[in-house]
């Protein structure tokens, strides 16, 4: 027994060109470089705190070492949580407010819904977290952008989005 899935009709504009896989890869690399710089800047204070804590601790007893390790792990975990929160907000806010991240802007592409309209913050959030699934299945969800008719990756299909070239 076959199940029929109804999707909204795709954009009907004759001049719509979908962004291909490699253009999207370059945009992703640009975005990750930008986020990497900001993440590094964010991590510097945490690394400095841990370093100062290690130098201020003159006693090298097992009890004090355990406390230092716990402080290091806690600071690292907190920094990672801040970075993850920042990445989500970067992608979701940029795609919902501007239609594209800085990397996508540099590559001349934007994210739209199936009718070509700007996406909402909720849809951008769903698209962002859908990328986790795209990556969990050995990256095949990302590779789908290379062979699907509308150049959609799995997270685009799940969120009902298109990535198109700016006109």
In this structure, what DSSP letter does residue 60 have?
-
| Cα→Cα distances 124→99, 115, 119, 128, 167, Å | 10, 15, 6, 6, 21
| Cα→Cα distances 141→15, 44, 152, 164, Å | 26, 34, 9, 18
- The phi and psi torsions of 137 (rounded to 5 degrees) equal -95, 50
pLDDT at 29: 96
Query: Could you give the CA distance from residue 37 to residue 39 in angstroms, rounded to a whole number?
Result: 5
Query: Could you give the CA distance from residue 65 to residue 36 in angstroms, rounded to a whole number?
Result: 30
Taking the CB of residue 77, how many other CB atoms lie within 10 A of it? Answer: 10
**Per-residue pLDDT in tens (0 to 9) along the chain, 167 residues:** 555 555 555 545 567 899 989 999 999 999 999 999 988 887 787 777 766 666 665 555 556 667 777 777 887 888 888 889 999 999 999 999 999 999 999 999 999 999 989 999 999 999 999 999 999 999 899 999 889 999 999 999 999 999 999 87
CA 15, chain centre distance (Å): 28
Please compute, for residue 123, the number of CA atoms within 13 A of its CA located in the half-sphere on the CB side.
18
- The phi and psi torsions of 114 (rounded to 5 degrees) equal -65, -20
pLDDT at 73: 81
């Amino acid at each position: 027994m076959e199940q029929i899935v109804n999707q909204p009709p795709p954009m009907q504009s004759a001049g719509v060109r979908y962004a291909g896989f490699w253009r999207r890869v370059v945009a992703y690399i640009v975005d990750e470089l930008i986020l990497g710089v900001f993440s590094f800047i964010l991590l510097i204070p945490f690394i400095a705190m841990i370093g100062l804590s290690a130098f201020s601790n003159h006693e090298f007893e097992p009890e004090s070492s355990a406390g230092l390790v716990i402080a290091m792990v806690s600071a690292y975990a907190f920094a990672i949580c801040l970075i993850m929160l920042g990445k989500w907000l970067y992608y979701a806010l940029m795609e919902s407010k501007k239609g594209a991240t800085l990397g996508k802007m540099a590559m001349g592409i934007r994210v739209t819904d199936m009718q070509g309209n700007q996406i909402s913050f909720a849809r951008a959030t769903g698209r962002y977290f859908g990328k986790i699934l795209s990556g969990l299945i050995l990256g095949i969800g990302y590779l789908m952008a290379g062979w699907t008719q509308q150049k959609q990756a799995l997270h685009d299909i799940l969120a009902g989005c298109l990535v198109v070239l700016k006109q």
